[in-house]
Chain A
């Protein structure tokens, strides 16, 4: 059980800056995020796209913004629990007990949800029969590539993941790359490599095809793919890999008894607390009259929510407002040398 003042859910830009604001007022926190890296949508959806509306930063990319936020919170040596997701929360006297999907447990006096539009999950095949094979012969990520040795693998998708795995698995497996259109959106060097492998007879490329049906009881027996012109092609395969990018799902947050307005959590605008005392929501996931989904609004919300956590973490102390330019205690927390 990890004991802390505040558990922050979400390591996107708003969660990261909130860590800073908690640190400045002397509160400890731990951060959990479902992705394998920090930055949230900024890093997952648009790392290279320029952002033009961060105050005092005329232009920066999603990746640069993330890196700068990580740099800014370095002094606080915060623990990040990546690749993990908060599943359960339970009130226990004055604390919240929090459990993750990997079984980690936390005790915190407050929770700040900075969960964006929810956690990222792989997009799945739309064909209903796929469900019973998912996690076995239908996979959306590769954990152990040795299982594909000497097997037939059908890879769906047109981006870098699909191309990279086509190249990698073609070394020891029979690979079919199937994509809904002729153009691939992955980097050109990978596209060239895959086309070269096709010429060498090591990879079969089938374009303008999408999965139409699957047959089999416990194992996939055969698969049918449908061409844009309506014709059907039957394929024998052992494994099917789908790389269609990620989608965002609210996930377990919906089960915690929080008020929800569509996919958003209503909060007050004094400290961004939800209907549960000690649970705050900031950034894209929260809503209130006049809410604007900008990163800068999320920064403001994080600053106020952090201060809202103070009374739960240190009920006997009074929070004094201080400026970072002059406060000795803030300088100490930041490790500023005189």
Chain B
């Protein structure tokens, strides 16, 4: 289990214990956190699980695979802090990760 913090645009914060091995996206969907749609179910095919990673986490996360940056072109207001949460696998290294949710996903 690792502690992941999801912050909605309103500032509402959800701190969730997510089982290692699940994705940050699955942690949100299974806990009914609004703001992550994940339409394609984690196939890296839709960019509706887009999150902004807190700056200090940017370098600690595994690098993006090729397709992720391409998919982020289609996300709602992407920035250099953008990641697809379906591509972030929860592990001990991610303990304490903070992600902000975009205003909307589409």
A interface residues (Cβ-Cβ under 8 A, vs B) = 41, 45-46, 49, 117, 123, 126, 157-159, 179-181, 183, 185, 210, 228, 244-245, 247-249, 284, 293
Contact = CB atoms under 8 A, between A and B. Distances in A.
Interface stretch (B74-82, B83-91, B92-100): B74-82
Given A45-B45, A117-B39, A117-B40, A249 B73 contact: no
Contact of A249 (B40, B43, B70, B106): B106
A249 B48 CA distance: 11
Given A45-B46, A46-B45, A245 B39 contact: no
A183 B66 CA distance: 11
B80 A126 contact: no
A48 B78 CA distance: 25
Contacts of A41: 40, 45
Contact of B43 (A46, A183, A245): A46
Nearest to A294: B41
15 contacts: A41-B40, A45-B40, A49-B43, A123-B106, A158-B73, A180-B78, A181-B69, A181-B73, A183-B69, A244-B73, A244-B74, A247-B46, A247-B106, A248-B46, A249-B106
A159 B16 CA distance: 36
Contacts of B45: 41, 45-46
Contact of A185 (B40, B48, B70, B106): B70
A228 B40 contact: no
A185 B80 contact: no
B43 A45 contact: yes
Nearest to B73: A158
Given A41-B40, A45-B46, A245 B74 contact: yes
Secondary structure class of chain B's binding surface, majority of residues: loop
How many chain B residues sit at the interface, stated as a range, is 10 to 19
A157 B73 contact: yes
A41 B44 CA distance: 12
A158 B40 CA distance: 21
A126 B74 CA distance: 11
A245 B73 CA distance: 9
A245 B106 CA distance: 11
Given A159-B70, A245-B73, 15 more contacts: A41-B45, A45-B45, A46-B45, A49-B43, A117-B39, A123-B74, A123-B76, A126-B76, A157-B73, A181-B73, A183-B69, A244-B73, A245-B74, A247-B106, A249-B106
A228 B73 contact: no
A130 B46 CA distance: 22
A179 B80 CA distance: 14
| Closest 10 pairs between A and B when the two form their complex, measured CB to CB | A245-B74, A45-B45, A185-B70, A247-B106, A117-B39, A244-B74, A158-B73, A126-B77, A248-B39, A293-B41
Nearest to A284: B41
A157 to B, nearest CB: 7
B48 A247 contact: yes
Contacts of B76: 123, 126
B96 to A, nearest CB: 27
Interface in B32-56: 39-41, 43, 45-48
A40 to B, nearest CB: 12
Contacts of A45: 40, 43, 45-46
A81 to B, nearest CB: 24
Nearest to B102: A126
B80 A228 contact: yes
A181 B80 CA distance: 10
A46 B43 CA distance: 9
Most buried by A among B39, B47, B48: B39
Contacts of A180: 73, 78
